[in-house]
Chains A and B, each alone.
Chain A
């Protein structure tokens, strides 16, 4: 009970005591007034406790989850909605909004009637009076006393709604959250163990105790304030201005602006262009560099500078949209000598999703100053965009009526079909004449799929091979060798032709990566086999048995990537997501059944297809024996 409540309670008790002590001496009316006064104070006290804000409860140590409370000049999106209805609508439809939510009927996608097994232990999920509950084996982080080997915890926050949904449960220690060891796959509508969705050695994936308060809060909420005391014991009293990535993440704190704009004369003056709307950052009006910094808050690899660290730990970041991000954050250099292999290819190009700023910054287009994130992306769907919100929100890309419109904003000469054909050596209507397929290939990995590199480059077998990265040509021509690609690039564009070994000359580049590559390379190869342009170019049947090899991979997520690829094949459409939980032999049987529906592939050394349309298992085993098996963690 805080001071205010204590004073109220004391006053009420004093009044009641006075009535009892002086009961015979006081006139009836005065006694009545005193009793009524005491009752009114008690009522106020009750209301005060009942209507206690989350923040009050947090300060009193009564809540065990981070609390939403706008402060520090933040107002929350509900204030913005009153005037910026169109922008609010598109933001509301976006996956930014739903990045972090409190659990509710509308926010929870997962099946909370499930009973899940992992390593011989069972986790049971349930709903009770609007709460989402987890009954699970007692984890290592549980420090409170309790009987038996199990704990029951409520879900307090939900992360994601696009690809995965992750659930955070209260840990019993202040507002520190811990992650449920299962993840809901939105597309497949099923639970899988957390270790099955990340490229990391299963034994190295921790239990993610405290991760939300120290890490996720940075980008999955608006103006997150970790309020962390590293202890020991570690204590958190984390608050955010708003759960999810809301208006003020990109436009800055809005309380002053909202307050000023409550005046209708000021609003109409702004509508009529007589007065400027002030007090907010508009990334669309910032320089490309500063606008890209707004995105880079989250879409780059960065951390607080030494000077910023203590402020961050207590009160969050000082960066506000429009500022120079580098003043308060240390942003990793993408071209540094020893790039972190969890984020970068050896040559410094980013290899994970969600960190696109580095690719943009390293692109030649960015150096000119006329290019940034907003050159291609529209964070609010423009009124003239004919697509539905549902279509727009997937990548939040600008709409152009013309194919390659994003690049043609600057590269005007390629607007003509003849020029495009001469440049690409592909028919103008083909996928090979789409700028992004050659210059932004799928060489980044995350969320169970490959994503386009945001570093705009030219295909170059020598450079890509040196970095261990698949080249753009062989991500589409998955049945062709590196030698084939190098020959064409030399003939067409005068590219340097690297020295290649026998396998690189004889076997399809995708198969070398799928069977020999590291876990990240294997995932990219499996994804590319399911990619529609690749299947159209290289055919389907021969790839199915190769994909089967991904299912017994030590990295379980390879099974998910391969399943998603397989589902794109005409023969794989019959496979349901139950496939993911089948034992290996049953998966093999299901794929072999699907194979019977596909046309028998012709023998082809390049595709490692032997006589009778069967995979050349001896060759596959030879390649697998030379596989890059070093432990790998990709920090998607």
Chain B
């Protein structure tokens, strides 16, 4: 059985673990904000920020795990699609853009609306929605 390009596997391992570590660290920061009762995060006036950062934490961690699982899958099931690099790029781009949009969009909020960085989140969502079916198809068509 031919192996998947090891550079792609390595890329997703590194990126996945890195993303997981970063957004787990964000979780610690959020816990600290709760623990110290920081009103900039907790008050009713800042509930948009709290919601966005909670979303960033949850999505970042889950997408980090997704990348690790993707890397494990590539290592175990050889995929030699011509689209492999495209799917990999979309997955990494989406995994980075979606939680970053939530995180950066929540730093400065206008009333109940996030700032312009929130545009990254739907872009990331579109990248992921494009990448996942292609990845599934590639696994189904593997040699």
A-side residues, CB < 8 A to B, are 81-86, 88-90, 92, 264, 267-268, 271
Contacts and interface: CB of A to CB of B under 8 A. Distances in A.
Nearest to A92: B44
Given A85-B45, A89-B45, A271 B110 contact: yes
A92 B44 CA distance: 9
Nearest to A380: B45
7 contacts: A83-B111, A83-B112, A85-B44, A85-B45, A92-B44, A264-B113, A271-B110
Contacts of B47: 85
A84 B110 CA distance: 9
Nearest to A88: B44
Dominant secondary structure of chain A at its interface with chain B? helix
A124 B141 CA distance: 77
B47 to A, nearest CB: 6
B43 interface: yes
Interface of B: 43-48, 109-113
Contacts of B48: 85
Contacts of A264: 113
A85 B39 CA distance: 13
A89 B111 CA distance: 11
A543 B109 CA distance: 55
A86 B45 contact: yes
Contacts of A81: 112
Contacts of A84: 111-112
Contacts of A86: 45, 111
A271 to B, nearest CB: 4
Contact of A89 (B44, B109, B110, B113): B44
A267 B110 CA distance: 10
Contacts of A89: 43-45
Contacts of B113: 83, 264, 267-268, 271
Nearest to A389: B43
List of 4 A-B pairs having minimum Cβ-Cβ separation, nearest first: A89-B44, A86-B45, A89-B45, A83-B112
A150 B67 CA distance: 71
A82 B112 contact: yes
B104 to A, nearest CB: 16
A86 B45 CA distance: 4
A69 B128 CA distance: 43
Contacts of B46: 85
A89 B110 CA distance: 14
Contacts of B112: 81-85
B110 to A, nearest CB: 4
B90 to A, nearest CB: 25
B53 to A, nearest CB: 15
